[in-house]
Structure 1
Amino acid sequence: MKIAVIGCTHAGTAAITNAAKLYPEAEITVYERNDNISFLSCGIALYVGGVVKDPKGLFYCSPEILAEMGVKTKMLHDVLEVDTDGKKLKVKNLQTNEVFEDTFDKLIITTGSWPIVPGIEGIDLENIVLSKNYSHSNTIIEKSKEAKNIVVVGAGYIGVELVEAFQVNGKNVTLIDSMDRILSKYLDKEFTDMAEKALSDNGIKLALGQTVVKFEGKNGRVSKVITDKGEYEADLVILCIGFRPNTELFKGQLDMLPNGAIIVDEYMQTSKKDVFAAGDSATVIYNPTGKREYIPLATNAVRMGTLVARNLVKPTTKYIGTQGTSGIKIYDYNIASTGLTESAAKAQGIDALAVTVKDSYRPEFMPTYDEATLKVVYEKDSRRILGAQIISKADLTQSINTMSVCIQNRMTIDELAFVDFFFQPHYNKPWNLLNIAGLNAK
């Protein structure tokens, strides 16, 4: 069996390492256009902020490790064309410019995603950079050394983590987003209000509800970001607007969402036999709604890549879907969410209710007992849990993993009230916060 893999970040690495173990007789060739593999892009802000000193720790695999497993890793090789029917690839060696063809029995598409780059006037000025891969992280670190005023465009996880890292390093930082709240995909307003206050209290300028219309420069280098509501000095601009699937090669050959995400079934197979896709290039089954959606997260990628390997020869392990579970630390706050927010549920036309609990996370007789805020969203008629969010200075984020399991298993808010959770005064109260949410919803 001849397996070809295009792209080798999270999903690709998981697919390759598992396939090499499951099918030792297979001939596996991976084509990667970059000069490194398996970079944890979610660690960029930690690297930029100096929390991670040695970037080698942000890589968990290498061509050498794959070679030991018998995998042919073709670094700096760009796949130019794919014939999914004829099972052929056209590839360019970026070092020699040689173009050659290869064939496959099974194709694994793990081409990932790429940052959205808007066609704004001045976008090509120097010191306007992206934040996705290892090369970007090194560029950001190098350019930020001389920068005094840094503007980050996009208030998702990467953007928010970067502004904190820059502020801690003594920079004047502005965060711009066209939405009127940060992290609006993941959290409802009562949570983003607290997070925004933490950013503002630390001197970060928030320019929310503003759209960038132009970049101005001096001597070819960016000097100012102009929005529809204001102007901001900038020596360095980081674009964190979002991601699009890297799937141009397959347009017209495979079924996709309008944004280019390849539609896969429960066994990671695309609309073509023997062609599989995983990670940021593919759709996921989003359990709160039951729909196929695009949710680019490293956790989704490694699960999907592992499933590709297990299902390459025959369907054996079904994908159980995702809740889009994620977390972030913003200064002293530990924040996590899973599933639908109340605002997202209503935007999708779902008749949803929510219950919010504010309570000390452990008994008041303990030396400290910080307040935690937990919100659980559920469907009005069925009372099925749809989502949850938590924010606290004590790290209670693992409770959102528990809520993810609840959504996965289609539990109701009433069942949550009486789930058996342990009690120990160091950690919680006799009624766990999750229990209290269920009880209050009754």
Structure 2
Amino acid sequence: MSMKIVVVGCTHAGTAAITQMARLYPEAAITVYERNDNISFLSCGIALHVAGIVKDAEQLFYASPDQLAALGVTTQMRHDVLAIDTDAKTIEVRNLATGEPFVDTFDKLVMTTGSWPIIPQMEGIGLENIELCKNYQHSQTIIEKAKHAKRIAVIGAGYIGIELVEAFEELGKQVTLIDNMDRVLFKYLDESFTAIVEKQFADKGVTLALGQTVTSFTGEDGRVTRINTTAGEYEADLVVLCIGFRPNTELLKGQVDMLPNGAIIVDSYMRTSKPDIFAAGDSCAVHYNPTGQHAYIPLATNAVRMGTLVARNLMKPTVRYLGTQGTSGIKIYDYNIASTGMTEAAALAAGLNVKNVTIEDNYRPEFMPTYEKVMLKVVYEAEGGRIVGAQILSKVDLTQAINTLSVCIQNEMTMDELSFVDFFFQPHYNKPWNLLNQAGLQAI
């Protein structure tokens, strides 16, 4: 009898787990159940598609059911998992094409059910032209509806919301951005950085409705026409909700340990609190290195790493997860921006005693024909100088510096150590004291 592996949800994490398991365990019988008819859509590419930079949304899929079938994986598309019994190791499934329910069994279960956008329950939420932004169908709907819309409102000033605002503005739309925090990208950047982003949007004529919460939507003939908030009202004929994500983990509720928001808690080998039940990606909490706590950080990077680790650790604990810093980057108009770990605001909110260094400098020597400004901020613990976060912004792409600082945080390095790391100097690229060295040297 070969081992039976069942994967629920062909997300980024699911696809990574499946391809690796097919390679590592050629004898195993692997079945994946997916309720959609497509898999592994890169939602981080939706704004690029809306803006017309990626012409064909088909290119945003990085795997197909056929590719998985070619690996010998039983790929059950349009199958909805109704219930799971982790003790009996059974799974109840409905074939959505025929309506037939059936029961399958497993030796190992991999939960990669991903996340779904948070939909606020309020008056008018069911009106037409209020759209979500997550999957392939959403991207097609948004593009189609944006063609006919004059005023578009985006609710939520995280990465996806911000990128859509830029895309819509460049398509010549009147755009309103609404968020309940008093600044954009609140989770990723501190105020000196977000102020620059907000100025870019204001200069382009985008209405920034910050520090206010949507209370209801008003419509005519069943279509949305107005958004009401705690501070005013805004006209819109298309609304895109980008409020954040919630893990899809109802199936395991009460069976494995979870965070209050339903994110499954896994150990460093991707094991849940139940033997033979593994989880990865947006359905999970991750170990967040800056605090040492479990946190919910739904990112494609975390998902593919965790999915790959499920495969490596399926039979026995082999490769540990190193945790995450929540490292991410974004391009907004002319600015290249990236961040890792905690902002100063987040560190203070978490009760850490932190200091910070902010460097504003030209990124390379002034004797070069051109040079651009760069702003780098590093946040570190007052006692001992352990680095907990960093942010960078420049018209030149210096975002790789944040990947370097992500490694520093992961390895619990201090500002003193950062001062003297061996970084190269070459006038085309930087100054004799590398920017990161400078940050270390300026910390006292």
What secondary structure sits across from 1:280 in the alignment? helix
Partner of residue 124 from structure 1, selected from 107, 123, 126: 126
What secondary structure sits across from 1:117 in the alignment? coil
- Distance in 2 (CA, whole Å) between partners of 1:223 and 1:340 is 38
In structure 2, the residue matched to 1:73 is 75
Q: Which amino acid aligns with 1:367?
A: P
Note the C-alpha offset of 1:66. 0.5
In structure 1, the residue matched to 2:175 is 173
Partner of residue 261 from structure 1, selected from 248, 260, 263: 263
What secondary structure sits across from 1:424 in the alignment? coil
| Pairing of 1:288-299 with structure 2 (within 5 A) | 288-299=290-301
What secondary structure sits across from 1:101 in the alignment? strand
Note the C-alpha offset of 1:199. 1.1
In structure 2, the residue matched to 1:231 is 233
What secondary structure sits across from 1:100 in the alignment? strand
- Distance in 2 (CA, whole Å) between partners of 1:173 and 1:93 is 42
- Distance in 2 (CA, whole Å) between partners of 1:365 and 1:56 is 46
Contiguous gaps of at least 5 residues in structure 2:
none
Note the C-alpha offset of 1:153. 0.3
Q: Which amino acid aligns with 2:116?
A: W
In structure 1, the residue matched to 2:250 is 248
In structure 1, the residue matched to 2:58 is 56
In structure 1, the residue matched to 2:100 is 98
What secondary structure sits across from 2:36 in the alignment? coil
In structure 2, the residue matched to 1:350 is 352
In structure 1, the residue matched to 2:6 is 4
- Distance in 2 (CA, whole Å) between partners of 1:24 and 1:75 is 22
Partner of residue 281 from structure 1, selected from 283, 288, 300: 283
Contiguous gaps of at least 5 residues in structure 1:
none
Q: Which amino acid aligns with 2:193?
A: F
- Distance in 2 (CA, whole Å) between partners of 1:27 and 1:182 is 47
- Distance in 1 (CA, whole Å) between partners of 2:123 and 2:367 is 59
- Distance in 2 (CA, whole Å) between partners of 1:439 and 1:251 is 49
What secondary structure sits across from 2:216 in the alignment? strand
What secondary structure sits across from 1:363 in the alignment? coil
Percent identical: 72
What secondary structure sits across from 1:56 in the alignment? helix
Note the C-alpha offset of 1:54. 1.3
TM-score (norm 1): 0.99
CA offsets 1:150-195 (integer angstroms, 9 cap, x no match): 0000000000000000000010000000000101001000000011
Query: Aligned pair count?
Result: 442
In structure 2, the residue matched to 1:217 is 219
Q: Which amino acid aligns with 1:2?
A: K
In structure 1, the residue matched to 2:422 is 420
- Distance in 1 (CA, whole Å) between partners of 2:218 and 2:233 is 10
Q: Does 1:33 align with 2:35?
A: yes
What secondary structure sits across from 2:143 in the alignment? helix
- Distance in 1 (CA, whole Å) between partners of 2:137 and 2:424 is 46
CA offsets 1:63-108 (integer angstroms, 9 cap, x no match): 1100110001111110000001100011011111111110000000
The 4+ residue runs of structure 1 with deviation greater than 6 A are none
- Distance in 2 (CA, whole Å) between partners of 1:99 and 1:208 is 47
Note the C-alpha offset of 1:203. 1.3
Q: Which amino acid aligns with 1:188?
A: D
What secondary structure sits across from 1:96 in the alignment? coil
Q: Which amino acid aligns with 2:54?
A: V
CA RMSD for the aligned pairs? 0.5
